[in-house]
């Protein structure tokens, strides 16, 4: 979830390098940030670490007054998405041991931290935060030197450090390994130690990648932060620890046995995306969607054939995803049913483990993820692999954990998505599934034609006059406490995804419902002037969803129709093209724009980074 970046080498601008790396990774968390550097000033002899931490998003550049502008050849940094403890400077990473020689940044959740913290507190360790992370540097310190802190603290200044080093019972490498072995849960830690000039990392669950440059080493929670410096990368596997110092050494946990690192040569390019003339990345990425859809229509024939072949020969197929990817997967079940007459199972990623008893050798599992790091997808996929399932991943980030887990890799081709709210990645997910469904019945040209119509339709929706219409609608409903969205069949998946866009972008409570569920309780929510968005594609659901709209209007609802045909029941209407199942794409584009303009109308200053959210969810 959080962003980690570290550097060790011969350059003395380690802070600048780490700060730039954190800016690249800020989509992983932006509650707070911090950097620790080794103090290399000649007058300092006790080899300690300097830490600077702040709440909020990273600034565009380090303040000139920052102590981090000191020269250093070792630094680790972190941009946080809060789990344990609120958003405060004290809770921001990195965290230090009592002697400020060990600094730790961490992704994940330490499930037994309370037990460990109580034990360390009894041994004399003083804590300054509410985080689970802070126990790690103290635990490492205690393992290195198990004598009581009260004895050690009798001396002052340089003598204190000398005493500590003289009494150290275990070296830093051993202490980090033993400390990590005590942590329960899915975690990744990066620890820096000033006296030995080392960075050591260990992981179980959360991703870490190490970049190997000339006389320098990098570590990050995402290879995109490393790629501008080197193409030689080691992706740490679970239960591995790596030592970055004068030499690079990879160890297997828990026993510490040395193993040979597998170096991957990055062959893909990570974009350095800028907003250009757009006020926000989300609007820029909405505008990029027609080209994403066109690219899939014109260039993904081979990928669709390969995925179609896997589905045809599979003994049962499961799709899974979280958030936006889950609604793409749900839409896929309708596509494969109505177009290809194929029964494809779908479940939310976090629920898959409760249904995986069906998985066996011959089962095809199709995980869908923008980041490729979502723990609620990565973890059950690994279990499915061990049961003999074939994994065919739809993922946007090459080199990600899911990408490396998969037997068959299908890149979404959406390009880098900087806004936390997913837009063009959803379009890519749906378009690939749509093309695959038609490929199964040997009619890929039908899919290509409809996708190209949909892409052109979105271009029309993005014309200034149409955006102005959607913006005006956002102003009309900006004070609404609730917005309800209705659809049937494939449009039910549309309603769910559209509701998610409104919730996460504008913070308005929005819910998507199947039209047929109205009379089963949902209609009790309708009050006078409640905005109700009706997704009405020109298909066999049209008449029934219009009846639902009339039922809602009879209870005082404010009816907003989105689809190819206007109807007198609609109080407001936004037209989209009719392109079979691909009609969904234009309807979703309208919903994305409505969510964006609704956020602006409600005074939200940065819709790219919604509160409490991060792009990659790497904790449970």
Q: Hey, which residues are catalytic here?
A: 2, 615
**3-state class (DSSP) for residue 41:** coil
CA distance 371 to 364: 21
Q: What are phi and psi of 327, to 5 degrees?
A: -75, -30
Q: Which residues of 191-202 are buried (b: 16+ CB within 10 A; e: fewer)?
A: bbbbbbbbbbbb
Q: DSSP characters for 473-491?
A: HHHHHTT-SEEEEEE-THH
- Structure tokens given for 39: 């103090």
Nearest to 497 by CA among 592, 401, 593: 592
Cα-based distances in Å from 594 to 373, 556, 598: 29, 22, 6
Tell me, what DSSP letter sits at residue 222? Answer: S
Q: What are phi and psi of 310, to 5 degrees?
A: -65, -40
Helical (H) or strand (E) element with 290 = helix 289-299
**3-state class (DSSP) for residue 317:** strand
* Residue entry with tokens 């007459």: 341
Nearest to 374 by CA among 322, 428, 306, 448: 322
CA 296 to chain centre: 23
User: Which parts of 293-407 are beta strand (E)?
Assistant: 317-321, 345-348, 364-369, 390-395
CB distance 614 to 420 below 8 Å:
yes
User: Which residues fall within 8 angstroms of residue 532, CB to CB, at 6 or more apart?
Assistant: 483, 484, 485, 486, 526, 549, 552, 557, 558, 559, 560
CA distance 353 to 372: 18
- Structure tokens given for 471: 């913006």
* Residue entry with tokens 């969904």: 584
Work out the burial of residue 439: count CB atoms within 10 Å of its CB; fewer than 13 is exposed, 13-18 middle, 19 or more buried.
buried
User: Which residues fall within 8 angstroms of residue 343, CB to CB, at 6 or more apart?
Assistant: 336, 337
CB distance 394 to 427 below 8 Å:
no
Work out the burial of residue 69: count CB atoms within 10 Å of its CB; fewer than 13 is exposed, 13-18 middle, 19 or more buried.
middle
Helical (H) or strand (E) element with 541 = none
CA 200 to chain centre: 24
**R_g of the chain, CA atoms, integer Å:** 26
């Amino acid at each position: 979830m959080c962003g980690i970046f570290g550097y060790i080498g011969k350059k003395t601008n380690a802070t600048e390098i780490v700060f730039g790396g954190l800016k690249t990774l800020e989509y992983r968390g932006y509650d707070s940030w911090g950097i620790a550097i080794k103090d290399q000033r000649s007058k300092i002899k006790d080899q300690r670490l300097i830490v600077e931490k702040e709440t909020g998003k990273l600034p565009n550049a380090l303040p000139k007054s920052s102590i981090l502008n000191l020269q250093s050849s070792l630094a680790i940094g972190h941009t946080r998405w809060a789990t344990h403890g609120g958003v405060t400077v004290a809770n921001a990473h990195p965290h230090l041991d009592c002697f400020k020689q060990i600094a730790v940044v961490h992704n994940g959740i330490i499930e037994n931290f309370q037990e460990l913290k109580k034990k360390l507190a009894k041994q004399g360790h003083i804590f300054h935060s509410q985080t689970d992370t802070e126990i790690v540097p103290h635990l490492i310190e205690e393992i290195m030197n198990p004598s009581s802190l009260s004895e050690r603290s009798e001396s002052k200044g340089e003598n204190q450090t000398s005493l500590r080093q003289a009494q150290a019972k275990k070296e830093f490498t051993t202490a980090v390994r033993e400390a990590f072995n005590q942590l329960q849960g899915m975690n990744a830690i990066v620890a820096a130690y000033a006296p030995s000039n080392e960075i050591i990392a260990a992981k179980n669950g959360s991703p870490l990648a190490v970049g190997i440059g000339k006389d320098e080493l990098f570590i990050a929670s995402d290879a995109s932060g490393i790629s501008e410096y080197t193409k030689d990368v080691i992706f740490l596997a679970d239960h591995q620890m790596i030592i970055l110092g004068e030499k690079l050494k990879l160890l297997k946990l828990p026993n510490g046995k040395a193993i040979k690192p597998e170096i991957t040569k990055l062959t893909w390019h990570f974009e350095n995306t800028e907003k250009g003339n757009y006020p926000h990345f989300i609007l820029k990425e909405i505008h990029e969607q027609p080209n994403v859809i066109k690219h899939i229509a014109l260039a993904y024939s081979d990928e669709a054939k390969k995925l179609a072949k896997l589905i045809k020969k599979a003994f049962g197929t499961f799709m899974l995803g979280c958030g936006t990817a889950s609604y793409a997967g749900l839409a896929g079940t309708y596509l494969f049913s109505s177009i290809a007459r194929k029964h494809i199972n779908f479940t939310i990623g976090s629920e898959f483990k409760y249904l995986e008893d069906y998985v066996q050798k011959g089962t095809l599992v199709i995980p869908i993820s923008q980041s490729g790091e979502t723990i609620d997808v990565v973890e059950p996929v690994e279990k499915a692999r061990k049961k003999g399932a074939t994994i065919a991943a739809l993922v946007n980030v090459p080199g990600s954990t899911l990408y490396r887990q998969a037997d068959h890799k299908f890149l979404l081709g959406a390009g880098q998505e900087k806004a936390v709210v997913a837009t063009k990645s959803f379009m890519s997910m749906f378009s690939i599934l749509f093309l695959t469904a038609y490929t199964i019945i040997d009619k890929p040209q039908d899919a290509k034609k409809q996708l190209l119509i949909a892409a052109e339709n979105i271009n029309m929706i993005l014309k200034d006059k149409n955006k102005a219409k959607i913006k005006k609608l956002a102003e009309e409903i900006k004070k609404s406490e609730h917005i309800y969205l209705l659809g049937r069949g494939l449009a039910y998946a549309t309603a769910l995804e559209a509701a998610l866009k409104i919730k996460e972008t504008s913070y308005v409570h929005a819910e998507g419902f199947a039209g047929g569920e109205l009379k089963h309780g949902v209609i009790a929510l309708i009050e006078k002037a409640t905005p109700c968005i009706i997704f009405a594609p020109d298909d066999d659901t049209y008449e029934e969803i219009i009846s639902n709209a009339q039922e809602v209007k009879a209870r005082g609802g404010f009816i907003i129709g989105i689809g190819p045909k206007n109807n007198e029941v609609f109080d407001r209407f936004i037209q989209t093209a009719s392109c079979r199942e691909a009609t969904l794409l234009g309807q979703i584009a309208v919903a994305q724009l409505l969510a964006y303009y609704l956020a602006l109308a409600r005074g939200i200053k940065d819709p790219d980074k919604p509160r409490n959210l991060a792009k990659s969810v790497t904790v449970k």
